[in-house]
Amino acid sequence: MRLLSRKATCNTHGQDSSYFLGWEEYEKNPYDHIKNPSGIIQMGLAENQLSFDLLEKWLANNPDPAGFKKDGQSIFRDLALFQDYHGLPDFKKALVDFMAEIRGNKVTFNQNNIVLTAGATSANETLMFCLAEPGEAFLLPTPYYPGFDRDLKWRTGVEIVPIQCTSSNGFQITAPALEQAYLEAGKRNLKVKGVLVTNPSNPLGTSMTRTELNLLLNFITTKGIHLISDEIYSGTVFSSPEFVSIMEILKDRKCDNEVRNRVHIVYSLSKDLGLPGFRVGAIYSNDELVVSAATKMSSFGLVSSQTQYLLSALLSDKKFTKNYISENQKRLKNRHRMLVKGLEKGGISCLKSNAGLFCWVDMRHLLKSNTFEAEIELWKKIVYEVKLNISPGSSCHCTEPGWFRVCFANMSEETLDLAMERLKRFVDSMSEISSHQMMKNSRRRSLTKWVFRLSFDNTGREPEDR
């Protein structure tokens, strides 16, 4: 008799991906500039630690919310006892206003259309439960966040069909790629229920163009399917082009309710505010049935009332949010510049990007061969020898070997400098080995020619093949 469920014993969680394996190696030997200076530096974690001082300063200046007080009086009992899966109205209002502010107030959000979840992970899975049956499919452009294999598929039974994007156009979505993915799903007898995109992209660090967004809207309108826009990195856009939300495209095109109801947004405070430990995510949908179903499902992943109360006060402080958004983007831009310059010193380039907490780095020239086996071989050297945990493109389902996601916002400037020094030494050593091998090959060819000439001179004819 089976003692555990199939779900408990299945191996479809994705934990054996190189994305997660790199984390495991880091946890065994984490870098610390004093305790373990030769340890592995974590560059596989998309975490924003650049603006904690702004948050801590606000907390110091506003002790009541952090102490669960209102007008100097404790409301701890009320917060500890109250838990409604609809969420605190004040927090939902503050959250939708913050989402609008990030988008330059070009669009507005209705707090009645938002569902609170325990992070974007929960939000994406909840939408899968709401929009698709087990065995149905969503199309995702490659490369995509490795965690989606877990978030979208593991418990829901929903399938992912990749939209194959390439470096030839900066990995942008094209109409032929969309149609090809749709046809591929049909060949696999999978009913397509929608498309899911991350905007800005994880792992590319680029915001989607208006052309791509319009293309997506045309596609889902023609096919009669859903579109999920995961906009968890919307507040991290630090340079042009500026961020354009799918909500702005819907507004500009004056889309009817039938189309609007099939477009859903996922958001979280994990990246823009750097609060992944608070587990605050959200679904925004114009479809009342989706909002109702997702709200009921949110019982399995609620945001604590204490967290909502604290963040309601913080996000309602417009002077703070305006300064935070601006300053955080400046810091991200400076740190991004540091990484790009550090890579350039090692002869490594990356995709031009304008958002996110990472760069999409091109190491194809360091591969022994143009294969994913060679990519993993290089990745292992970088993890075990260089002691940097980065994410190989194959873990993101990239179609081209040799691309890597490298994070830059979860460490100090000194640690980033050290990481770049390590990488440069490694690349230089590879160049020396390559040059040495070329010299050996050149000598071998010269010796072969000398033996050939000597043999020809002695016999008067060419040597026989043996």
List of residues 6+ apart from 392 with CB closer than 8 A: 18, 19, 375, 376, 379, 403, 404
Residue 283's SS3 state is: strand
Catalytic: which of 232, 249, 283, 382? Answer: 232
Stretch (H or E) spanning 330? helix 318-345
Rounded to an integer, what distance in angstroms lies between the CA atom of residue 270 and that of residue 410? 12
CA neighbours closer than 13 Å in the CB half-sphere of residue 290 = 27
Catalytic: which of 153, 193, 271, 424? Answer: 271
> Active-site residue 271, yes or no?
yes
Catalytic: which of 97, 149, 151, 230? Answer: 230
> Active-site residue 28, yes or no?
no
- Among 311, 343, 320, 316, which Cα is nearest to 408's? 343
Q: Give residue 463's pLDDT.
A: 39
209: which DSSP letter? P
- Among 386, 365, 383, which Cα is nearest to 374's? 365
pLDDT by 10-residue block (mean), the chain, 466 residues: 77 70 87 94 94 94 89 84 84 96 94 96 96 97 94 93 96 97 97 98 96 97 97 95 95 90 96 92 96 93 90 96 96 97 95 97 96 96 95 96 97 96 92 59 56 50 40
CB 137 within 8 A of CB 127: no
Stretch (H or E) spanning 145? none
Q: Give residue 443's pLDDT.
A: 58
Q: Give residue 442's pLDDT.
A: 57
Q: Give residue 438's pLDDT.
A: 53
List of residues 6+ apart from 162 with CB closer than 8 A: 139, 140, 141, 142, 144, 181, 397
Q: Give residue 436's pLDDT.
A: 53
In the chain, the largest separation of any two C-alpha atoms, in whole Å, equals: 108
> Active-site residue 85, yes or no?
no
Give residue 378's identity as a one-letter amino acid code: L
Q: Give residue 21's pLDDT.
A: 82
Catalytic: which of 144, 145, 182, 233? Answer: 145
> Active-site residue 78, yes or no?
no
Q: Give residue 256's pLDDT.
A: 86
